[in-house]
Chains A and B, each alone.
Chain A
């Protein structure tokens, strides 16, 4: 009997080492006499730096170096965790210096100190004297593009990073012929990833004079490239090591602290320097999720079909480009393979402001557009008195749909079943009836929202993945991948894939979890929910190659053809009869010690994936709204996903629990706030930034509709980011159902609800 490993609830490979505290993270590694790096941050939102005097700081005992932009190469570089593009027109905006020569937000890195310990470094920071010429600042994206707004980067006088949009169909004609035209404005706030482990790294020069950086990153190979570019070094001069990491959610899909960490070690002649951000620094000095304002306009026909959608979007990018316009481009591509439109036009503007830089965060622009679109659809239903579920079902695309712009084809389509399942889980019809005509102080409501998402970045980005396998004498293997485990469980999923192909048990697969750019296969890292789909294909390829080598030796040994052989439960078997011929171990031993044919079995492969698979899902939520205090409580929430084959249900559920929990905060409480007058952050700590606690989190219900995606190596599609997409609009729509009030801005925290209830005359 061939035992299936794919689909099993295999335990995480790193479970024991993590829960026992043995797993080593960046801060668990030490070098002798490690120095400490610290940064002086700008107190002004926008200011010219006239002069920096570091003499007092330098003369403090224990200070080894103080650096400013004047000590560093004048090279502007881009930080986004994207594969390098050979086409210069397709590259990220290079607008950063390692230490800036102009302050563009409160928190901008002005100077750095390297000292023997934290307290000395902090003292030295206070001794640096900077003369600023304060400039007017702008925080709002729509304000920043007005003609009289201050210019933040000279290279973009109008503060617009890009306004490249997407369109198909004859939108004007569709609006002319529309029976109804609906409009709405929707807005999301700036939030932050709040991964448990703050950004941290250390660097030193090795005996060959190369820079070694150990860092908490999702993208070691990209870090190597960007550090080299920022310092003007040949790429081979930099080595990046990524140990276990305590979460990233996109904030470490960006090269944030590594170039400066490298510069710090160079400033002290290669002595080891550790540079760790505090939580407060992490909130402002890394990346945030873009606040985006959407102006939606939709054309419909009398039979309640969507005809056209015109979206204008203003994406607040903060002070530096980072992922920049890619975010809104992702948003405007990924929502499309869900509802049928004759014509679509998205006109986005990604805008510089004097705020912390926005970058990648779980689902890359899609939580924002999903909030706008799915809220808008419920507003349409409210106005036209339609059933929101039936309305959505009526407008869904169907299997085989090809997007007119990206050419991505829908080859598996489980959203209708997802909707059905979610509806049953929450007992929609039954509850809907009993919640009619509520009048009390506390009211209940139901809402739902759908989403579509991609598996990787094709056709926009390169989707290259590498995997390597070495078989040991006992038939067990080492699997080495370039893709990074960042807590999502990818190592375990890869192990299951290799075990499945090779007919071995999970305990025979050892995944080398650390990526070291000197030795790890090339892969651009953990992002875009690409790993199971893209890197999984490389793992399968590597495993198939090993299997083929095993069977060739077995064929030589048994005289049977390779095609007639298989590996089942660590045995070589005759395929049709299932009879065991010899153990896998015997074959492995031959590969090592056969006096004539010995050649240890290994594979080293890459896959360049040039397909994409559309994953789907839906959230159903039930809320209880306190009409007096404005508090919203989520009573029940279900996420049902079509992510193709579920490789490991426990891991997939873990992704859903985490994603929904993030989205609950996005919907109800999280918002990074700034003082309008000064641009200073107000709540950049975990007390005042209202990340939800476990007590605020309802039981999160999870469902899967398993389709088979033909382009997936095992039928799989993405699941990592997906769960964070649709809960916010589902909750918002449930509040609409409970109260009749349209909340078009996130988060719906008690203060915001109070103000809205006042406006609506409910209080």
Chain B
């Protein structure tokens, strides 16, 4: 039994925004796979919910004429990992999506909820960080567009202003064109698990040289992070075994992993290094690099 006082189920975004403006105490609920867990654990009580599930067209993936991929905040992970556009242009997000929970969770959990919940282990985050995703936020005051890197504030904390709803996630063409990506989720189990550590790499290799390389880590700091030092080092370098080794080591400099019973700090540091290398080798291989570097 959950401690829910009532639930509003607007049919349009406009209506939702009005409700939210009138009553800032409302708790937004999308798929509810985080919200209900908070209720179950007593972290939320006597809530008044604002559900986004009845709003049309917030659960679609579209390719705009300018090449921007637009993902509705209510798109579920099941939709995402099967979606043609996602698989064709940003398969890294499909990989991340299918690594989420299990079939039942993927059928209901939304990408918007994943982002707004602000977990450091959120499986969509590292990939979206490497794709320089832009978030479209809307409130009665208007629309804000902010890069996902600026959205995360701390564990479980995101920069949603009062009355704001995340409506879409945008990825512009220059951020995926000719790029390859790889997401590695490291967890104890192959399903129904949260990442102990995760690494996303998106990049472009041309003539065995890193033309572009973006690395993002999950569960490696209070918020998901990009590894700017390692990225800066990589660009323009030949993708040799030594370069990749060095990139792995440099990835650590942007990370501040915690020591916890879920995983020790030394272990997480080790994983950041070796998994970054593995992910890079994957894209070097996918990008037509040296075959023998695949393992």
Contacts and interface: CB of A to CB of B under 8 A. Distances in A.
A118 interface: yes
Interface stretch (A489-497, A543-551, A687-695): A687-695
A751 B193 contact: no
Interface residues of B, number: 24
Nearest to B262: A688
A441 B274 CA distance: 11
B153 to A, nearest CB: 24
A673 interface: yes
Given A687-B193, A692-B189, A693-B102, A441 B271 contact: no
B194 interface: yes
A254 B261 CA distance: 31
A669 interface: yes
A122 B190 CA distance: 35
B62 to A, nearest CB: 32
B270 A693 contact: no
A749 interface: yes
Interface string B190-205: 1111101000000000
A690 B193 contact: yes
Contacts of A696: 189-191
A162 interface: no
Contact of B190 (A442, A687, A695, A758): A695
A751 B189 contact: no
A386 interface: no
Interface in A201-218: none
A683 B189 CA distance: 15
B1 A119 contact: yes
B188 interface: yes
A694 B263 CA distance: 23
Contacts of A122: 42
A122 B1 CA distance: 10
B241 to A, nearest CB: 13
Interface string B34-71: 00000000100000000000000000000000000000
Given A693-B102, A754-B270, A682 B191 contact: no
Given A441-B295, A669-B188, A750-B188, A687 B194 contact: yes
Given A117-B1, A687-B193, A629 B188 contact: no
A628 interface: yes
Interface in B1-31: 1, 3
Contacts of B3: 119
Interface in A658-702: 669, 673, 675, 682-683, 686-688, 690, 692-696
Interface string A746-761: 0001110011001000
B233 interface: no
B274 A629 contact: yes
B208 to A, nearest CB: 22
A75 interface: no
A690 B3 CA distance: 28
A690 B189 contact: yes
B274 A673 contact: no
Contacts, number: 55
Nearest to A695: B190
A683 B261 contact: yes
B1 A682 contact: no
B270 A763 contact: yes
A710 to B, nearest CB: 45
Interface string B237-270: 0000000000000000000000001111011001
A690 B193 CA distance: 8
Which applies to chain A's interface (DSSP): helix, strand, loop or mixed?
Answer: loop
Contacts of A693: 102, 189-192
B275 A629 contact: yes
Given A669-B189, A695-B190, A751 B271 contact: no
A629 B189 contact: no
Nearest to B37: A687
Contacts of B89: none
A751 B271 CA distance: 11
A117 B192 CA distance: 31
Nearest to A631: B186
Contacts of B267: 630, 750-751, 754-755
A442 B261 CA distance: 26
Nearest to A697: B190
A751 B263 contact: yes
Contacts of B189: 669, 690, 692-693, 695-696
Contacts of B186: 629, 750
Nearest to B274: A628
Nearest to A278: B40
B261 A673 contact: yes
Contacts of B266: 754, 758
A652 B295 CA distance: 40
A83 B19 CA distance: 63
A763 B193 CA distance: 26
Nearest to A121: B1
Contacts of A750: 186, 188, 196, 267
A688 B190 CA distance: 14
A351 B266 CA distance: 34
Nearest to B278: A628
Most buried by A among B193, B261, B267, B295: B267
B120 to A, nearest CB: 15
A695 B191 contact: yes
Contacts of A118: 1
Nearest to A754: B267
A538 to B, nearest CB: 42
A122 B270 CA distance: 44
A682 B194 CA distance: 15
Interface in A592-630: 628-630
Interface of B: 1, 3, 42, 102, 186, 188-194, 196, 261-264, 266-267, 270-271, 274-275, 295
8 contacts: A119-B3, A630-B267, A686-B192, A687-B192, A690-B188, A693-B189, A695-B190, A750-B186
Interface of A: 117-119, 122, 441-442, 628-630, 669, 673, 675, 682-683, 686-688, 690, 692-696, 749-751, 754-755, 758, 763
Given A695-B189, A754-B266, 18 more contacts: A122-B42, A442-B295, A629-B186, A629-B274, A630-B267, A687-B193, A690-B189, A690-B193, A693-B189, A693-B191, A694-B191, A695-B191, A696-B191, A750-B186, A750-B196, A751-B264, A758-B266, A763-B270
The 3 closest A-B pairs by CB, nearest first: A695-B190, A118-B1, A690-B188
